[in-house]
Amino acid sequence: MKIVVIGGTGLIGSKLVPKLREQGHEAVAASPNSGVNSITGEGLANALKGASVVVDVTNSPSWEDAAVMTFFETSTRNLLAYGAAAGVKHHVALSVVGTERMLGSGFFRAKMAQENLIKASSNPYTIIRATQFFEFVKAIADYSTEGNKVRLPSALIQPMAADDVASAAARVATGAPANGMVEVGGPEKFPLDELARQCLAALKDPREVVADPKGRYYGMEISENTLVPGDGARLSETRFETWLNQSANQTPRVANA
């Protein structure tokens, strides 16, 4: 199949495209750098010509409330419209576990708007809701740092490796549309403060992680299970300790969802 990955040069897209190619599919990494822009529509018609599947793993360059909403609404409307015109048979979008529980954040309001646009369209679709990525644990700690202390709640989190997110996206993209949601997560649950503590220890980062009941996750209050998937989630295999041992220094600047 021809599968177009929108955001194909980003963290997930750059891992997804080679996985699809290894399976014998024609995977196209589409991004503004390759002349395909989901915001302006530039290059979309040509990129989607003959495509069976489009996978949207884009992320907004800004998390400012208005900007992130404009990004996800504009991009999603364009992808749905151009996809329908090209006869795309499966629209796959990457979203975030717990989105509906974090609507105090402009980012998650924008992700919910994205999901609702997809559901309301006539395009066959699957929405993949993934838990947070291992790659962003240090960024979470950085956001909650005051002086030499990192204050985080002990709410549970069930993170996964970005490579496993890409594998899950490949499975969904090459399968039939669910016309619904699929949740994916990591194999282990951690208290958020403990996850950060393990990450910083592996990086030999001297900051102290403090379990703070009033601590926040990217500025948001969360409850015990805000960040964990439901019982039917598909769980990946890579454990955090294994990932830390392999790639303790791979810490991108901005987190997912």
**What pLDDT does residue 254 have?**
40
Spatial neighbors of 145 by CB under 8 A, at least 6 apart, are: 207
**What pLDDT does residue 84 have?**
98
Buried b (16+ CB within 10 A) or exposed e, 73-91: eebbebbbebbeebebebb
**What pLDDT does residue 253 have?**
40
**Chain centroid offset of residue 143 CA:** 18
Dihedral pair phi/psi, residue 237, rounded to 5°: -105, -25
**What pLDDT does residue 248 have?**
57
> pTM value?
0.93
**What pLDDT does residue 257 have?**
39
pLDDT along the chain (257 residues), means of 10: 97 98 98 95 97 97 94 98 98 98 95 98 98 96 96 98 98 98 98 97 95 93 96 96 79 42
